[in-house]
Structure 1
Amino acid sequence: MIAGEPSGDNLGGALMAGLKELAAPGVEFMGVGGPAMAAQGLESRFPMEELSLMGLWEVLPKYRALKERIAQTARAVAEAQPDALITIDSPDFCLRVARQARALNPSLRTIHYVAPSVWAWRSGRARKMAQVIDHVLAILPFEPPLMQAAGMSCDFVGHPIVADPVAGKAEAAAFRAANGIAPDAPLVLCLPGSRQTEVSRLGPRFDEALMRLRDRVPEIRVVIPTVRGVSALVHDMARRWPTAPVVVEGAGEKRAAFAAADLALAASGTVSLDLAANNVPMVIGYDVAPLSRFIIGLMLRTDTVTLVNLVSETRAVPEYLGRNCQPGPMSRALYRLIEDPEARAEQFAAMGKTMERLGRGGEAPGLRAARSVLAAISSGPRPR
């Protein structure tokens, strides 16, 4: 099993727990992972953090070392002759390992956890992946036909969001009280992203949109959940406010803030599912550098990138992307969510449908993934 970043490590840990439940005591693991996989008994061959790199300028200085890690890991997989190699997200590293390991051991069964987002752009990635991957564990319900069309078997195993803890009403009320937020004050989450480039680009626009909303609804309060890597930027943004927003960083505080919120202005990404899990109506905004915007515009294959819209097959969540990511339209969309019960009701219905389709109320995703893995192993390698 190979995971290259924290989200993959969490998926791997849950999958390992499921495999131990279904296949214990005979199951054994080897590979690369983080603390969640270590808690299930994996001794990582090297620190997973070596693989947590993003961007050309981060990768280039370590390219030679990463290339050697790929070769070392592929040799270890081939020598171990496992029942399956399970790669988890991080395709730049994982699929290169799978390719080299398959070259050394052509009968190796290969399984990849998290399908590439070919529904959005770069559809050729699935066909390329099918050259080295037999079976895919998908976390979005509309992905299996896309993977099967590319030549791989695929099961939808549920999205990890359905297993994440959600704060209750008591925690939400305690959060408001602890931060001096009146029980009836509209509470808006501001979520400008988790990377410095995102916060630098989106932060000022989100800031201005919320300032305009405050002019129309003076009693609103703003909470900005953030992460350590962008905390300084977020605090700088918060200092502009006459009534300082509450900035929260800890996991418990974030859960309570989501439970206490009435609406949100958020960057595009999986955070829309966190908001859906907490039944928080949202407005989505996102932009990238002009050249990236142009390239993505040429390749984009869908009229929405918001997962709540895609999974629910609605367009209930308003999104403002690229040149449309401007304070005025986003502020007006937020105001509509405050003033228009029908707009809120439409989102509540879409969010409920989304969580149902992602697996809420069913078997835990880790256990579903484990069943899929065991079925794939028992069926043998696919014909080539």
Structure 2
Amino acid sequence: MHVKPVAALHRAAATGRRLAESRSGSPRALDVLTALSCLALMALDLPGLAAADNSLTGPMAAVVLALGAATLLLRRRMPWLSLAVALLFIGWLHELTLIQFALYSVGRYRGRRSGILATLGYVAFALVLFTVPGWPLDRAENLSSFLSPVVPLGVLASAVGIAAYRQDLVRELDARRAESAVLQAVQQERTFVARDVHDFVGRELTLLTVRSEVLSLRARDTAHAKDFEELADTARRAHLVLNEIIVQRGERTATPGVDGLPALADESRRAGSPVRLSMDPEVHALSPLRQAAVYRVVQECLTNAAKHARGQTIEVSIATDGPHLRIAVRNALPDRTPGRAPVSTGSGTASMSERVRSLGGTLTATRTDDSYTVAATLPRG
């Protein structure tokens, strides 16, 4: 009964339900709880069912109601089964409890179109039953009963299910957006790393080419002249390959190194967040790529602090520890959250982690009640 264009929406809603159920409990446990709740409500009608002329004894009525409630265990995969049994209960036992759970299930797990179709079918079926001769009440009471509780209850149950279905879609959309933002940040950071490699390594290859050519000229009359010429050609080809592999789009300078950190700290201070920068002198001897990683981590941490802890002092420590380089950025958190949440995609940590991992390091972010700390460890190389 479902058309192909809405299949993707159903899959998205199913994923959204899984996200919600992962927080609230097991889907199977929720189905069992729903079935038991429905059975408990229908059990209140057992005395009336036993007294009514429906060819069911008290125990047999309890068994029938239990079987009907058991169909709710399949409401995710087969909500139409619960609806069919609920309509049977209306015509046979005059029982209106199961239909509410069934209409909700159709709207929740099959979407708006199916929910509306199921509601219209239920209303038409109930209208026929409440107006045909032989119903236990007279026609005037039938019509009054039909217009008061029966239709509103069914429509409300279906509307709540459809609303929950839409919430599942919104929840899945938010999750997909967050995932896309993280993936985009990681991909962007990989592009930045590639461009930095191009800039730094390309510069060294250019110097190697020029020096090899100079040496070949100086050794022109010796046996090593040809070797230097081949070395220059090799460096030149390596530079060409590097240009072909890493395609630069747009103008962009290489990421600054640790020499650019004082300017970052000064910029943060002007924005209202003072920075205490502590850096070992040995850091200046790191390779350009590692210095670029240090700069990116500190830059992202200062940006996050400006968003979430403006006005708090930021402590930045960059130290060498044997074969490792350790970066620690810590800032206190404000006592109260701002009235309006800052605009943030939540992908900054992912981009920092990608930059650090690309150099064989690790990065962790730790939040406590009063502080936020980012710690990264890199091999010095």
TM range (shorter): under 0.3
TM-score by length of 2: 0.23
Q: Higher relative CO (CA 8 A, sep ≥ 6), structure 1 or 2?
A: 1
Higher helix proportion: 2
TM-score by length of 1: 0.23
Higher CA-based Rg: 2
